[in-house]
């Protein structure tokens, strides 16, 4: 079981490394979206500091959306997905491996960049730490829940737009608790409650999402 998981993660990571342009594009999308907000609303530090958690989190959601279609699309196109579905091991486990690989490729860069971008918004060091931690805890949930949408829209007309329509409403709790943790720190309430709930969402999301995803993949492969 574990060796299968490791093999799937290793394979997806290797594939991602061979096409680094995709990763870089999503990361720069994140940076650009975040940098647009001060240009749009004005450079007052007070206002930016209040907006920062929400802006960074929304940008993280959008950047994740951008990389989700590739989660299964390439494997679907060249037939690998059918082979994986035929494997004797449960498909949900393979999906879990792909979700973890997606998080490593799409989630971790956002976590690493977030403090740098947070400095642009004049966040205090406490808030920066909480922002990074909240993204670290929350982004796995984004990959997990997003996988359901990616599987449902596999090979469907206008899949990209449809994917955001399906997945963004389901992301709302993650957004609320993720941005809420930073907000609570800024306002002096302490982020523990939000971070715990975020952790619960992430664990629940990563644990349960592979099943509906696997079911959706089987529907798509019929």
Determine contact, residues 31/117, Cβ cutoff 8 Å. Answer: yes
Based on the shown chain and the rule CB under 8 A, indicate whether residue 220 belongs to the binding site for another protein: yes
Site map 165..184 versus another protein, x via CB under 8 A: xx-xxx-xx--xx--x--xx
- Residue placing its CB nearer to another protein in the complex, 42 or 169: 169
3-state secondary structure of 11: helix
Q: How far is the CB of 85 from another protein (least distance, A)?
A: 15
* DSSP notation for 50-61: HHHHHHHHHHHH
Virtual torsion, Cα 84, 221, 174, 94, nearest 10 deg: -10
- Residue placing its CB nearer to another protein in the complex, 133 or 148: 148
Q: How far is the CB of 183 from another protein (least distance, A)?
A: 8
- Residue placing its CB nearer to another protein in the complex, 32 or 189: 189
Q: Closest Cα partner for 136 from 158, 157, 155, 110?
A: 110
Q: Closest Cα partner for 5 from 210, 222, 218?
A: 210
Distance separating alpha carbons of residues 131 and 145, to the nearest angstrom: 21
Q: How far is the CB of 113 from another protein (least distance, A)?
A: 25
Site map 108..137 versus another protein, x via CB under 8 A: ------------------------------
Subset of 185-204 contacting another protein (CB under 8 A): 189, 193, 197, 201
Segment lying near another protein (by CB under 8 A), choices 37-45, 65-73, 102-110, 147-155: 147-155
Instruction: Work out whether the CA dihedral 71, 76, 79, 81 comes out positive or negative.
Output: positive
Q: Closest Cα partner for 62 from 156, 175, 147?
A: 175
For another protein, the binding residues (CB under 8 A) are 148, 152-153, 156-159, 162, 165-166, 168-170, 172-173, 176-177, 180, 183-184, 189, 193, 197, 201, 208, 212, 215-216, 219-220, 222
């Amino acid at each position: 079981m574990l060796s299968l998981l490791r093999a799937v993660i290793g394979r997806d990571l290797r594939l991602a490394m061979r096409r680094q342009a995709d990763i870089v594009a999503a990361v720069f999308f994140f940076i650009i979206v975040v940098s647009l907000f001060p240009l749009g609303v004005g450079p007052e530090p007070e206002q930016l500091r209040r907006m920062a958690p929400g802006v960074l989190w929304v940008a993280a959601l959008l950047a994740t959306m951008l990389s989700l279609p590739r989660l299964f699309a390439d494997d679907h196109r060249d037939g690998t997905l059918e082979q994986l579905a035929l494997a004797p091991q449960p498909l949900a486990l393979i999906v879990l491996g792909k979700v973890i690989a997606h998080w490593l490729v799409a989630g971790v860069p956002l976590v690493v960049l977030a403090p740098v971008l947070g400095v642009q918004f004049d966040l205090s060091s406490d808030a920066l730490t909480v922002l990074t931690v909240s993204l670290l805890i929350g982004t796995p949930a984004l990959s997990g829940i997003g996988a359901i949408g990616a599987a449902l829209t596999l090979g469907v007309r206008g899949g990209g737009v449809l994917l955001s329509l399906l997945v963004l409403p389901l992301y709302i709790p993650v957004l609320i608790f993720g941005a809420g943790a930073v907000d609570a720190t800024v306002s002096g309430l302490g982020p523990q409650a939000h971070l715990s709930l975020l952790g619960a969402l992430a664990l629940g999301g990563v644990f349960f999402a592979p099943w509906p995803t696997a079911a959706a993949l089987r529907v798509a492969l019929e």
